[in-house]
Amino acid sequence: RKYLVINGPNLNRLGKREPGIYGAQTLEDLKAELVSFSRELLMDLSFEQSNNEGDIIDFIHGAEGEFCGIVLNAGAYTHYSYAIRDAIASVDVPVIEVHLSNVHAREEFRRESVIAPVTIGQISGFGFDSYRLALQVFHNQFKGDTL
C-alpha cells in the first residue's frame, strides 16, 4: 500500500534549524528512517517537501486515487492555512497531522491547528517517532486499502 509523507515549510532545514527543539537529524535522515520502518510494515512510501503553500495543496490534490493516506507536517501553515485545510477537505484521502515538537507546550499560537478538524488525528511531540506512529496507525487501521 502506498502512503505519502508531506513536509512543509522550513522542514528542509532540519538538523540546522533550532536543533534544541527539532533535533540534530536532517530531513534525509528522517526519510531513511521512515523508509526502513515502512518496509517492516510492507508499505510503499513517497516523500514531498515544499516551503510553498500552493505546492502543498497540489501534493494533497494529487494524492487522491494515488495514495491510501497522507502523513502531513504542514509546519507553521498548520496554524493559519485555511487553504491547506480546504485542500484536505476536498480529497477523499485520510490525513494524519504530525509535529516533531509538542505544539501544545510551546507558544500560544502553535496550540491552534486549523487543519486538525479535517484530519483523522494529530500526533505531536515525539520527534521522528511522530511520523512512525502515524504510519503505524495507517498500517493498523487501513489494512484493507488497496492503492
Residues making up the annotated binding site for substrate are 73, 79, 86, 100-101, 110
Least distance from ligand DQA to the Cβ atom of residue 68, Å: 23
The single residue listed with the C-alpha cell 497522507 is: 70
- Catalytic one among 22, 77, 131, 139? 22
Tell me the binding residues.
73, 79, 86, 100-101, 110
Least distance from ligand DQA to the Cβ atom of residue 39, Å: 24
Q: Report the C-alpha gap between 1 and 119 in whole angstroms.
A: 20
Other Cβ atoms less than 10 A from the Cβ of 96: the count is 22
Least distance from ligand DQA to the Cβ atom of residue 99, Å: 4
Least distance from ligand DQA to the Cβ atom of residue 71, Å: 12
The β-bridge relationship of strands 95-99 and 121-124 is parallel
Nearer to ligand DQA (CB atom), residue 69 or residue 75? 75
* 1 grid coordinates: 500500500
Nearer to ligand DQA (CB atom), residue 26 or residue 44? 26
Other Cβ atoms less than 10 A from the Cβ of 106: the count is 14
Nearer to ligand DQA (CB atom), residue 45 or residue 103? 103
Applying CB under 6 A, the residues found at the interface with ligand DQA are: 10, 73, 75-76, 78, 99-101, 103, 110
* 22: annotated active-site residue: yes
Nearer to ligand DQA (CB atom), residue 46 or residue 51? 51
- Written as one string, the DSSP assignment of 106-142 is S-GGGT--SSGGGSSEEEESSTHHHHHHHHHHHHHH-
Q: Which of 21, 19, 18, 118 is nearest to 74 (CA)?
A: 118
Active-site annotation, residues: 22, 99
